[in-house]
């Protein structure tokens, strides 16, 4: 008779599994399972790894409202917190192409100041929706273009009168009358003044804002170009009479003019060294070993002091009424600019400028 063979362990386990029965656990298997259970219970809740966490970024919505009509122009959505006013202007330009960024003026309040391009949206936001008021600033030009146009005109206009064009003066009278040396000296000083301005515009000055309204450039050119034509016409006229005190008056005035021009240049260089790339002063300039910078001890805007001194010296040197009127208007205008800057300096650099005058040293 054939003996019946007992099934092997694997086959017996497979049969039990097929029949739905439970598999018996060995002693080692049950001990391993018990240790794993204790480990899980002692570890507590398993925390998700940092890689699985999703960072939630809060975006802002910027509502652009017309400052006059108070009507909504558009909504700039999905603005990141790190965005600046300049970024909002670029997004606004994509929605409204007729208004490019330099033409857009944005205010937090209707009667408030225009916001600088470097201000972040997050610093202005009270909620997820930020309302800004829009003003059309009109056609804009860069500051470099503004000053180059404003200063190039007087330089060329004066030279046209200096050569005594036949369309301006009578040629017979021009050849007949002798030119006094002060006429040539005045041409040299006038050209030197505006050449210095042009070179400083290109290589020294740093401008805080990139643009200014076109109408400001038109007004500035009309003022400078118009007065230059009037001044140059009288100084270069064949019937021009020299100063009353002759050579001494011309010499001393010319020396004062050159000293003021040199002082103005060194002050502008000192101001540029204390200014960052955005045009903001990091600290108030202090005098150096250069004697022309010692005026910082007395006034907060010595560049305006030297500029006024240049035109007063030029008036004394030429002894001409148009130059005197121009110098008087320039002193008034620069005094207003100096007072405005002095107030800003008092807020920003109070300890350094609290005992200084704005432009004229004897007036505190």
The verdict on 221 and 271 lying in the same domain is no
* pLDDT for 309: 97
Domain that holds residue 100: 60-137
DSSP H helical ranges for 117-245: 143-162, 171-176, 181-203, 214-235
Please check whether residue 130 is in contact with residue 63, taking contact to mean a CB–CB distance below 8 angstroms. yes
226 assigned to some structural domain: yes
Tell me which H or E stretch contains 107: strand 104-107
Burial class (CB in 10 A: 0-12, 13-18, 19+), 104: buried
CB count within 10 Å of CB 64 equals 23
Q: How many domains does the chain have?
A: 3
Asked whether residue 17 is domain-assigned, the answer is no
Q: Are residues 228 and 288 in the same domain?
A: no
End position of a domain, from candidates 178, 208, 241 = 241
Q: Are residues 198 and 284 in the same domain?
A: no
Give yes or no: residues 301 and 230 share one domain. Answer: no
Given phi > 0 = left and psi -120 to 50 = alpha, else beta, which region is 222? alpha
Which secondary-structure segment (H or E) carries 141? strand 140-142
Domain C-terminal end among 207, 241, 275: 241
Query: Is residue 55 included in any domain, yes or no?
Result: no
Q: Are strands 104-107 and 72-79 parallel, antiparallel or unpaired?
A: unpaired
Helix (H) or strand (E) holding 130: strand 129-136
Sheet holding 72-79, edge to edge: 72-79, 60-66, 129-136, 104-107
95 lies in the same domain as 194: no
Model confidence pLDDT, tens digit, residues 197-223: 999 999 999 886 678 999 999 999 999
Instruction: Kindly list the averaged pLDDT for each block of 10 residues, start to end, along the chain of length 364.
Output: 46 45 50 54 50 61 93 91 92 91 92 90 89 93 95 98 92 86 97 98 84 93 98 96 95 98 96 68 80 93 96 98 98 95 86 84 64
Q: Is residue 347 part of a domain?
A: yes
Q: Which segments of 196-331 are extended strands (E)?
A: 211-213
Last residue of a domain, one of 137, 158, 175: 137
Residue 294 lies in a domain: yes
Does one domain contain both 217 and 258? no
Instruction: Note the residue count of the chain.
Output: 364
pLDDT (0 to 100) of residue 177: 81
Res 21: pLDDT: 45
pLDDT at position 206, please?
A: 85
Which structure tokens are listed for 62? 């910027």
Q: Are 182 and 256 in contact (CB under 8 A)?
A: no
Domain membership of residue 16 (yes or no) is no
pLDDT at 52: 40
pTM: 0.78
Quote the Cα angle for 251-150-102, to 5°.
Answer: 150
Task: Report yes or no on 35 lying in a domain.
Answer: no
Identify whether residues 214 and 288 lie together within a single domain: no
Question: Do residues 129 and 231 share a domain?
Answer: no
Q: Quick count: other Cβ atoms within 10 Å of Cβ 319?
A: 19
Q: What angle do CA 83, 89, 92 make, to 5 degrees?
A: 110
CATH code of the domain covering residue 97: 3.10.20.90
Task: Judge if 303 and 253 occupy the same domain.
Answer: yes
**pLDDT per residue as tens digits for the range 142-157:** 999 999 999 999 999 9
Same domain, 269 and 357: yes
Same domain for 156 and 123: no
* Residue 12 maps to a domain: no
Same domain, 128 and 213: no
């Amino acid at each position: 008779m054939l003996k019946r063979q007992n099934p092997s362990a694997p086959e017996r386990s497979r049969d039990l599994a097929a029949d739905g029965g439970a598999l018996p656990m060995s002693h080692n298997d049950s001990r391993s399972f018990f240790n794993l259970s204790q480990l899980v219970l002692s570890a507590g809740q398993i925390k998700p790894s940092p890689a699985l966490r999703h960072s939630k970024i809060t975006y802002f919505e910027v509502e652009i409202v017309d400052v006059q009509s108070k009507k909504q122009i558009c909504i700039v959505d999905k603005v990141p917190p790190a965005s600046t006013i300049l970024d909002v202007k670029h997004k606004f330009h994509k929605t409204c192409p007729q208004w490019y960024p330099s033409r857009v003026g944005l205010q937090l309040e209707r009667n408030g100041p225009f916001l600088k391009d470097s201000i972040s949206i997050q610093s202005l936001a009270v909620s997820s929706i930020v309302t800004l008021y829009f003003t059309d600033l009109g056609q804009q030009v860069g500051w470099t273009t503004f000053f180059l146009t404003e200063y190039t005109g007087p330089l060329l206009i004066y030279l046209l009168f200096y050569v005594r064009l036949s369309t301006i003066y009578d040629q017979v009278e021009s050849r007949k009358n002798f030119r006094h040396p002060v006429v040539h000296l005045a041409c040299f000083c006038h050209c030197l003044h505006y050449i210095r301005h042009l070179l400083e515009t290109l290589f020294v000055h740093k401008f805080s804002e990139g643009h200014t309204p076109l109408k400001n450039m038109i007004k500035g050119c009309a003022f400078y170009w118009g007065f230059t034509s009037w001044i140059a016409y009288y100084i270069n006229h064949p019937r021009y009479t020299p100063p009353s005190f002759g050579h001494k008056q011309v010499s001393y005035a010319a020396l004062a003019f050159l000293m003021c021009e040199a002082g103005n240049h060194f002050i502008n260089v000192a101001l540029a060294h204390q200014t960052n790339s955005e045009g903001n002063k990091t600290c108030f300039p202090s005098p150096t070993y250069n004697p022309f910078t010692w005026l910082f001890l007395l006034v907060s805007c010595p560049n305006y002091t030297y500029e006024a001194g240049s035109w007063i010296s030029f008036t004394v040197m030429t002894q001409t009424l148009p130059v005197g009127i121009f110098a008087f208007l320039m002193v008034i205008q620069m005094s207003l600019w100096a007072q405005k800057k002095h107030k800003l300096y008092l807020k920003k650099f109070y300890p350094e400028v609290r005992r200084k005058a704005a432009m004229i040293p004897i007036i505190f």
